[in-house]
Amino acid sequence: MATVDLNKSILDYIYECPVVAENPMYFCVAEEQNNNNQLVPMNEQYNDAVEFVDGTVERTYRAEILMYKSVAYNPIVTEEVGGKKIPSDVYLNENMEDMTDGQTLIDWIKEQNDNRHFPNFGEWCIIESVKPTSNRLSFNGINVELEPPLAQYSVGLEIKYLDTSKQLWN
C-alpha cells in the first residue's frame, strides 16, 4: 500500500485555484509578504475519527489557508451628492479587492466540491466532501510593524474522507 502525503496533495489541489496560483504558497511557515499564501494543517480531533464495523474509518482533515495582503488606507465613502455620502469611483479600494480574492477561493472550493473534483488521497481513501468552514473570508488583523502593513485573511478548509486501508471486506 503506497502512502500519500495528504499535505502535498492538498497543496497541489489548492494551487489549481487561479487566485492562489498567481502567488507564492507556503506550508506551515511563511514570511509575511504581500500576496503570500500559507497552508496550515490543524490537529485531528479524537471525535473526528469514526470507526465502522468493517474497519473503515471516517476522518476529517482541517486546515487554514492564510492570505497576506497589503493594507490600503483609502476611504470608501468620499463623495457627497445631495447631502449624502456615496462610494467614490475615483479610488479602487485595495482592501475590498483583497476580500474578493478570498471570496473567489471560497467559491472555487465550493464549486470543486459540487463537481466532485477532489485532491488525490490515494487508492485507500474515498473523499466525501471538500468544503470551506465558512461562507466568508475571515479578517485576522493587521501587522503594522511591517512596511507596508499587511492584513492577514483566512479561509478554513474541511475534508471528510473514508480511510479504507484497514477495511475487512468490500
Q: Would you place residue 9 in the very low, low, confident or very high pLDDT band (cuts 50, 70, 90)?
A: very high
Q: Answer whether residue 169 is part of any domain.
A: no
Decide if 167 is inside a domain. no
pLDDT in tens, 100-149: 888 999 999 999 999 999 999 999 999 999 999 999 999 999 999 988 88
Query: Domain count of the chain?
Result: 1
Examine residue 149 and state whether it is found in any structural domain, yes or no.
Answer: yes
Q: Supply the CATH number for residue 82's domain.
A: 3.30.2000.30
Residue 141, helix vs strand vs coil: strand
pLDDT at 89: 58
pTM for this entry: 0.83
3-state helix, strand, coil in the chain (%, to 5): 20, 35, 40
List the one residue out of 129, 146, 123, 124 whose CA is nearest residue 34: 146
Q: Which sign does the torsion angle of CA 110, 115, 119, 121 carry?
A: positive
Q: Is the peptide bond before 148 cis (omega within 30 degrees of 0)?
A: yes
Q: What is the pLDDT of residue 47?
A: 67
Please report whether residue 170 resides in a domain.
no
Q: Give tens-digit pLDDT for 23-34.
A: 999 898 888 888
Residue 145's domain comprises 6-162
Phi-psi bin for 121: left (phi > 0), alpha (psi -120 to 50), beta?
alpha
Locate cell 486546515: which residue?
A: 63
Whether 66 maps to a domain, the answer reads yes
For residue 62, pLDDT over 90 is answered with yes
Residue 41 lies in a domain: yes
Has residue 101 been placed in a domain? Answer: yes
